[in-house]
Amino acid sequence: MRKYKIVHYLNQFFGQIGGEEKANIPPEVKEGPVGPGNAFNNALGEEAEIVKTIICGDSYFNEHKEEVQAEIKSTLSEINPDLLIAGPAFNAGRYGMACGGAAEVANELDIPVVSGIYPENPGYDMYKQFAYFVETSDSAAGMRNALPDMVNLIKTYIKKDGDLGLPEEEGYLPRGIRKNLFVDKQGSKRAVEMLVAKLNGEDFKTEYPMPNFDRVDPVDPVKDISNARIALVTSGGIVPKGNPDHIESSSASKYGKYSLEELYEMSEETHETAHGGYDPVYANEDPNCVLPVDVLRDMEDEGKIGKLHEYYYSTVGNGTSVANAKAYAQEIAQELLEDGVQAVILTST
C-alpha cells in the first residue's frame, strides 16, 4: 500500500517557535514533523507520514487571514499532500480559526483535513464543513486523547479510501453536510416511528437536527448620547495592577468589577492585563489600548457623551466556556440596568 503524504498545520506554540510573544510570526514551512507531529508520525506508522509542517502565529493568521490562506494554498498545491492535519486546537479561539481557515483552502484543493477541536471553539462552527474535527477537551492537557483519536480517524480514512461513515460511527464532530444514501425503510415509516417513540416518551434520534440559532435582535440605538451613561466591559483581562481578584489567565472562573472613579486614563502604574491568550506587552504598557478610558474621559469633558459609568467589568476571554461567559454577562447586564447604563462598549482582544 502506498504511504499517505501528510502536511501538518501548527501554531507558533505547538510549532515550537515561542509563546504569545511570537504569535505575530508569518507562516513558514519546515521539513518533516514538528512537536506533536512526531507523535502523529510514530502512531501512523507505515500508513502515512508528515512530510512538511506549516507554522503560523495565531495573531498573524487572524489579522492577515486572506494573505495567509493564499500562502497556505500555494504551499499545499506545491506539495500536493494526500491529507492535511490541522492542530489540534482545543479551545484556543485564534488557533481554532486558523486550523479552520487552513482547512478551508485545503478543501478548495480537494485535500481532506483532519483536525481536533473543542466544540465551543468558534473555529468549529465556522469551518465544520471543511474538516473532520475530532472532539477534544478544552485544553492542551487533552493531547493524550486527542492524538490517538485523530490517528484512528486518519487510519479509518485511509482504510476506507476517504469514504467515511456517519460522525458518531467514525468519531468526528457533525459537519452539517447532507448526503444521499440508500436505507431500508422509507422516510414516511421512519418519521412515524420517530413520532410514536416521541409520544411514548422513548429515546429517538432525529435525522436532521435543527440548527441552534441563538441570535439577539439589535436593541434600538441610543437617542441622546450626550446625556447617556456608557459602560466599558472587556474580555481582554484588564485589571487593577496586581490582579486583586486573581482572575485566571485562561478559562476564567470569574469576572471583576472595578472602579474608574477619579481615573482619567489607564497607565502601566494603575492597570495591567491578566489575559494569557495574547502578548501582554502592549496592554501592560498602555492599558488604554484595550480599554479606552482616556478617550472616553475626553469625550465626557467635551460633552460628546453623558457619562462614563464609574465601574468597568472585565474577564479573560481565553478558553472561557460559553456557559461561564453567558452567566457573567447576565449578572453584569443586571447590574448595568440597575445603575441606569444606557449603552455598552465591549472590547475584545
Partner 1 sequence: MVKEIERAGIPVVHIATVIPISKTVGANRIIPAVAIPHPLGEPNLAKAKQKEIRRTLVEKAIDALQTPVDSQTVFED
Which position has the grid cell 459537519?
A: 175
Please choose, from the candidates 146, 143, 120, 141, the residue with its C-alpha nearest in 3D space to the C-alpha of residue 318: 120
11 belongs to the binding site for partner 1 (CB under 8 A):
no
Kindly tell me which of 28 and 300 has the beta carbon lying closer to partner 1: 300
Kindly tell me which of 80 and 334 has the beta carbon lying closer to partner 1: 334
Q: Which residues of 306-328 are buried (b: 16+ CB within 10 A; e: fewer)?
A: bebbebbbbbbbbbbeeeebeeb
Kindly tell me which of 46 and 220 has the beta carbon lying closer to partner 1: 220
Residues of this chain, 85-124, that bind partner 1 according to CB under 8 A:
93-94, 97, 122
Q: How far is the CB of 270 from partner 1 (least distance, A)?
A: 16
Amino acid at 140: A
Cis peptide before 88 (omega within 30 of 0): yes
Kindly tell me which of 170 and 294 has the beta carbon lying closer to partner 1: 294
Q: How far is the CB of 14 from partner 1 (least distance, A)?
A: 18
Kindly tell me which of 24 and 145 has the beta carbon lying closer to partner 1: 24
288 belongs to the binding site for partner 1 (CB under 8 A):
yes
Quick one: cell of 130?
471543511
Kindly tell me which of 199 and 219 has the beta carbon lying closer to partner 1: 219
Kindly tell me which of 88 and 287 has the beta carbon lying closer to partner 1: 287
Angle at 115 between CA 25 and CA 253, to 5 degrees: 75
Q: Count the site residues for partner 1 by CB under 8 A.
A: 67
323 belongs to the binding site for partner 1 (CB under 8 A):
no
Binding partner 1 (rule: CB under 8 A), the pick from 109, 166, 192, 281 is: 281
Terminal Cα distance for the chain, rounded: 47
Residue 107: how many CB atoms within 10 A of its CB?
16
Q: How far is the CB of 260 from partner 1 (least distance, A)?
A: 15
341 belongs to the binding site for partner 1 (CB under 8 A):
yes
Q: Positive or negative, the Cα torsion across 334, 338, 342, 343?
A: negative
59 belongs to the binding site for partner 1 (CB under 8 A):
yes
Query: Which residues have CB under 8 Å from 234's CB, separation 6+?
Result: 290, 291, 312, 313, 314, 315, 346, 347, 348
Residues of this chain, 135-194, that bind partner 1 according to CB under 8 A:
none
Binding partner 1 (rule: CB under 8 A), the pick from 125, 170, 300, 310 is: 125
Strand partners, 181: none
For 5, phi then psi, to 5°, come to -95, 120
Q: Number of H helices and number of E strands within the chain? A: 11, 13
Residues of this chain, 193-232, that bind partner 1 according to CB under 8 A:
214-223, 225, 230
Which position has the grid cell 515550537?
A: 16
Per CB under 8 A, residues contacting partner 1 are 20, 23, 59, 62-63, 93-94, 97, 122, 125-126, 214-223, 225, 230, 233, 235-236, 278-283, 285-286, 288-292, 294-296, 298-299, 304-305, 315, 317, 325-326, 328-330, 332-334, 336-337, 341-349
